[in-house]
Amino acid sequence: MSKLFCALLVCGLFLVCATDSHARGFDEIMASGTLKVGTTGDYKPFSFDNNGTYEGFDIAVAESFARQLGLKLELVKTTWKTLMADLKADKYDIGMSGITRNIARQKEARFSQGYVMFGKTILINKDNVIRFGTLADVDKKGVKIGVNPGGTNEKFVKANIKNAEVIMFESNLAIPTAVADKKVDVMITDSVEALYYAATNTRLAAPLAGDPFTRSELGYIMPASAERLQDTVDFMMDQMILTGEMHTLKAEYLHMAE
């Protein structure tokens, strides 16, 4: 056997091993006894890491999924930067963290049906309600905008903000506090999150949430090959709607009445 052939054989085996990572099939998930859910833990009211204990709407839905399937729930920490890479590396089966359904993600994975409609809007200190009435008011020199990297908030800011100063925060959870303390003027975020913070912090306001800059839906993300898992997730979501469980969770966590 020639040295060249051996070298090619070794390279080929390496490539096979390197690309052999594949998503767990539905039967494999059921056989394992565990449902692995990826979540960021930094996006109230959907996913919040409260000193090691995860809370929020999507966490409650994940618990319902695991209960319906008769599986143990394992919450896997991910980040907005590594959300897709972690999914492709089979670190989790379903991503549940207030994830926006968009075509860029759909090209690489697959989504459940949507469960909340929303749009990008502003969260501000209530003292600045008169100051910020439009997106043009936000995009001015002297305005400080807080945003965390890797998600759709940053993408919106990059596409629409040309004059204001953008300040990056590694933790999404730190930005509302910075707005309340007037360390930054504006947080660009989803209307659901903005309304949540405005309802739970008297120093904050979301004056434009009723007419957001964009319109999107949130969904649960799964590997591109997970057709049966997606069907099952959609089925379980429909069951939760029929039984009233989804309505109850939205009222409790999102302050939404359907």
Give pLDDT tens digits for 144-156.
999 988 888 999 9
Q: Tell me, yes or no, whether 134 lies in a domain.
A: yes
> Do residues 188 and 140 touch, judged by C-beta distance below 8 A?
no
Task: Give me 47's structure tokens.
Answer: 């996913």
Q: How far apart are CA 242 and CA 36, in angstroms?
A: 25
| Residue ranges of E strands in the chain | 34-39, 42-43, 47-50, 53-55, 72-77, 94-100, 109-111, 116-118, 120-125, 144-147, 165-168, 186-190, 204-205, 216-223
Strand order in the sheet with 186-190: 165-168, 144-147, 186-190, 120-125, 204-205
- pTM assigned to the model: 0.76
Domain count along the chain = 2
83 with 156, same domain? no
Does 110 share its domain with 228? yes
Could you tell me if 108 and 52 lie in one domain? Answer: yes
- Residue carrying the six token digits 């040309």: 162
Q: Is residue 177 part of a domain?
A: yes
> Do 136 and 59 sit in the same domain of this protein?
no
CATH of the domain at 181: 3.40.190.10
- Identify the domain containing residue 189 by its residue range: 120-205
Give the pLDDT score at 171.
87
- What is the average pLDDT value for the chain, to the nearest integer? 91
Residues 143 and 87 in one domain: no
For residue 170, being part of any structural domain is answered with yes
> What pLDDT digit, counting tens, does each position of 102-131 carry?
999 999 999 999 999 999 999 999 999 999
Q: What are the pLDDT digits (tens) for 38-74?
A: 999 998 899 999 999 999 999 999 999 999 999 999 9
**Has residue 94 been placed in a domain?**
yes
How far is residue 62's CA from residue 94's CA, in Å, rounded to a whole number? 9
Residue closest to 192 by CA, chosen among 117, 134, 93, 258: 117
pLDDT at 177 > cutoff 70: yes
